[in-house]
Amino acid sequence: MSSSAASRVVASMTASSSSSASSSSAADRLRAGRSRFIISSTSTTLPSESFRRRRETRASSVATTTTARLRPGRQGVQRIYRMTSEKSNIDVYEYLEALGVPRVNALRVQSEASEWFEYENAKRGGAADAPFGVEEMSAVVAFLESKGVSAADVGKLVNAHPATLAYSVEGRLRPLFEYLGELGLDADAVVAAVSRRPNMLGLDPNENMRKMVDYLVSNGETQEQALEYLLKTL
């Protein structure tokens, strides 16, 4: 074989080897590309799943927050209660205003009087659903006016001591006025004493008030001095 023929054979083998290597490299690149595509496809699926979970979590969080905002807390319940009470007790507020209670104080007076009525009612064993409204309040007002308390003073007295409206006429108010009369006060003096110290109406004459007076008298005070002491300290 001539040298030129040998050179051609070598060149052909080299070209064939290069072609095989090139084909092998192309195949490797193709496989690598497919692998990257598969990995890429898998990686795009995972973030989508993660995104879906995050979206569901956010939606759940928003729902919880919205529910929490809609669910009334203590202040919300109190606000709803006040609104409901205002609507259902408008006649009570109008009655209190007619007595001379300022409109801004009507809710406070009604609330305190109602609370005290519940206490007094439970204390004397009354029905749990005993009514308390204009009719019960007007009975107290009528009694005070019958004792000489003017309409203007009734309003001031009720505004200063709302529980007055919840007291039982026969169980507390009448015995109190009678006991003050026993201490030497005439009707005008009793009215003046009550108007001066509305809290005196909160004393039960057959219990704490009589005991306090008796104690002071036993220590050398006169009944008048004992009463004056009560008027100063109440």
Q: Dump the DSSP string for 102-157.
A: -HHHHHHHHHHHHHHHHHHHHHTT--TT---SHHHHHHHHHHHHHTT--HHHHHHH
Radius of gyration of the chain (CA): 46
Residues 35-50 pLDDT 10s: 554 444 444 444 556 6
Residues with Cβ < 8 Å from 124, sequence gap 6 or more?
Answer: 168, 171
Burial of 199 (0-12, 13-18, 19+ CB in 10 A): middle
Q: Which whole number is the average pLDDT over 112-141? A: 87
Greater confidence, 111 or 228? 111
Q: Record the pTM.
A: 0.58
Split at pLDDT 50, 70, 90, the class of 66 is very low
